[in-house]
Amino acid sequence: MPTQNFKVGEMLDKRTKNSKTWMNFDGSYTSEIHMGAVHFDDENGNLQNINTDLFDESDSDNWDLPVNKYGVDAFDIVREKATNEKVLGKMNRDNFDYQGLQVPFEAVLPRNFKRGYTIGRG
């Protein structure tokens, strides 16, 4: 007779780029293994859940979230630029793009597609 195992919480130390392992209420474990990545490496070397949302660079001075290790350098440059423009009272959102910060590659998409865009790693 099958029993129901209720997930208590994810075992973060058991994460891989394409799996999650859960502790069940009865003390057993359940692993979910995915064909593709469900986690990305952040700037500190931790595996984080992938989030495909695009973030507006002009608001980067307000962000406090993990950033993928491939996009952290571009993010730091944009954060400084946004902070400086706001301090000077010269914020022009048209000079900023959108970034996918929580994916396993660098993703920068412009507000104005005429300038082109890049998505990639390395």
pLDDT tens digits for the chain (122 residues)?
455 668 889 999 999 999 999 999 998 999 999 999 999 999 999 999 999 999 999 999 888 889 999 888 888 999 999 999 999 999 999 889 999 999 998 888 888 777 666 677 76
pTM of the model: 0.80
Task: Say what the alpha-carbon torsion angle 84, 117, 67, 36 is, to the nearest 10 degrees.
Answer: 170
- pLDDT at residue 11, rounded to an integer: 95
pLDDT in tens, 62-97: 888 899 998 888 889 999 999 999 999 999 998 899
62 token code pair: 């307000």
- Three-class SS state of 68: strand
Which pair of tokens denotes residue 35? 């064909």
Q: What is the DSSP letter of 27?
A: S
Q: From CA 12, how far away is CA 82, in angstroms rounded? A: 33
